[in-house]
């Protein structure tokens, strides 16, 4: 089965409420000021997307889009237009523990779920700051096993879950998931005040454990937004492509302030998709000039 091609997706956040309070949330401090998207505006925007013909898959997100009571209506609108091969829900998975709710989403047209899980039980609950959230997310993933849908679990690598990630991968790999995503942490601040950034030395040391965690299942474990020149071998895959995401200018202004994509080798590296290092990473660990290598 071919890998997920995120360049074919557009992500449309429609709701900014959330039932978690994650320490690593990129919308922290911003989501409270973001207004939900009305059904009418949503439908008009989707019609524009389909007329342009650039994207064949749609992802609905939020903060946590399943806390939107009208989500089924948004999905119904998207499915009724008939132009999207995949309608994905990006979610922390907690509400998917409700089988009836999950069945209604699938009946309306959702055929793919991108589920965030941030570690084993203790680490996950510390990161989400909601006791019991791990059990609910795992119950949601188990309910998805019984359905004919794509499932992509996603974890953001931080110091809070670094030791957990190989065990988490080993737990997820035997299930019916399509592929596993491991994202580098995006600190939405110029200095790592939360102490969450993982240094590249620790990232490199993690690789053998990730391969072992995937085991004989051989499913792709996709590393997102790490420097592309880090050496990986199958089943690990380096892929820095992210889907187009529609968010208000206030978010993108804050995103740009934190200067992602820096590298001491940038001016002589042929890779134009690499996310390089953030300002907060450089402040904490330096430029990593000897560890990173420019592509010819």
Residue 250 has pLDDT above 80, yes or no: no
In a domain, 286, yes or no: no
71 with 17: CB under 8 angstroms? no
Q: How confident is the model at residue 218 (pLDDT cuts 50, 70, 90)?
A: confident
* Range from 8-12, 145-149, 249-253 carrying the lowest mean pLDDT: 249-253
In a domain, 207, yes or no: yes
Average pLDDT rounded to a whole number, residues 10-37: 87
Give me the domain span that covers residue 88. Answer: 6-258
Per-residue model confidence (pLDDT) at position 245: 87
pTM score: 0.95
In a domain, 265, yes or no: no
31 with 18: CB under 8 angstroms? yes
Per-residue model confidence (pLDDT) at position 9: 96
Q: Percent of the chain scored above 70 by pLDDT?
A: 99
Per-residue model confidence (pLDDT) at position 252: 77
Q: How far is CA 77 from CA 42, 62, 154, 266, in A?
A: 9, 17, 26, 43
Residue 258 has pLDDT above 90, yes or no: no
Per-residue model confidence (pLDDT) at position 39: 96
Bridge-based pairing of strands 236-238 and 221-224 is parallel
In a domain, 198, yes or no: yes
In a domain, 18, yes or no: yes
* Range from 13-17, 28-32, 56-60 carrying the lowest mean pLDDT: 28-32
Per-residue model confidence (pLDDT) at position 246: 85
* Range from 2-6, 24-28, 248-252 carrying the lowest mean pLDDT: 248-252
pLDDT in tens, 193-212: 999 999 999 999 999 999 99
Ordered alpha helix ranges (H), the chain: 39-52, 71-80, 99-108, 121-128, 133-145, 165-172, 200-214, 249-257, 279-285
Number of structural domains in the chain: 1
More confident residue, 123 or 256: 123
| Backbone φ, ψ for residue 155 (5° rounding) | -130, 140
Q: How confident is the model at residue 27 (pLDDT cuts 50, 70, 90)?
A: confident
In a domain, 168, yes or no: yes
Residue 31 has pLDDT above 80, yes or no: no
pLDDT in tens, 157-181: 999 999 999 999 999 999 999 899 9
Which residue, among 169, 100, 158, 132, has the nearest Cα to 20 in the 3D structure? 132
pLDDT in tens, 95-143: 999 999 999 999 999 999 999 999 999 999 999 999 999 999 999 999 9
Which residue, among 76, 134, 132, 125, has the nearest Cα to 104 in the 3D structure? 76
CATH number at residue 229: 3.20.20.70
Per-residue model confidence (pLDDT) at position 35: 83
Can you tell me which residue has the tokens 């999207």? 84
In Å, the largest CA–CA distance within the chain is 54
Residue 231 has pLDDT above 90, yes or no: no
Average pLDDT, the chain: 94
Residue 153 has pLDDT above 80, yes or no: yes
Residue 51 has pLDDT above 80, yes or no: yes
In a domain, 77, yes or no: yes
């Amino acid at each position: 089965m071919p890998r997920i091609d995120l360049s074919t997706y557009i992500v449309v956040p429609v709701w900014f409420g959330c039932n978690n309070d994650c320490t690593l949330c990129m919308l922290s401090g911003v989501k409270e000021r973001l207004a939900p998207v009305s059904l009418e505006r949503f439908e008009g925007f989707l019609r524009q997307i389909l007329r342009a013909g650039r994207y064949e898959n749609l992802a609905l997100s939020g903060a946590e889009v399943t806390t939107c009571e009208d989500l089924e209506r948004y999905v119904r609108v998207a499915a009724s237009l008939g132009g999207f091969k995949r309608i994905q829900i990006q979610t922390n998975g907690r509400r998917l523990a409700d089988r009836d709710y999950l069945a209604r989403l699938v009946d309306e047209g959702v055929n793919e779920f991108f589920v965030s899980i941030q570690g084993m039980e203790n680490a996950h609950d510390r990161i989400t700051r909601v006791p019991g959230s791990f059990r609910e997310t795992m119950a949601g993933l188990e309910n998805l096993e019984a359905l004919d849908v794509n499932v992509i679990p996603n974890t953001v690598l931080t110091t809070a879950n670094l030791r957990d990630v190989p065990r988490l991968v080993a737990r997820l790999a035997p299930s019916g998931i399509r592929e596993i995503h491991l994202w580098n942490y995006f600190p939405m601040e110029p200095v790592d005040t939360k102490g969450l950034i993982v240094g590249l030395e620790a990232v490199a040391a993690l690789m053998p454990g990730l391969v072992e965690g995937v085991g004989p299942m051989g499913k792709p474990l996709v590393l997102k937004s790490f420097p592309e020149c880090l050496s990986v071998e199958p089943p690990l895959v380096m892929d820095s492509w992210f889907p187009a995401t529609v968010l208000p200018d206030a978010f993108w202004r804050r995103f740009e302030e934190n200067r992602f994509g820096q590298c001491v080798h940038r001016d002589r590296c042929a890779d134009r998709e690499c996310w390089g290092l953030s300002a907060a990473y450089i402040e904490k660990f330096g430029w990593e000039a000897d560890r990173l290598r420019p592509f010819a």
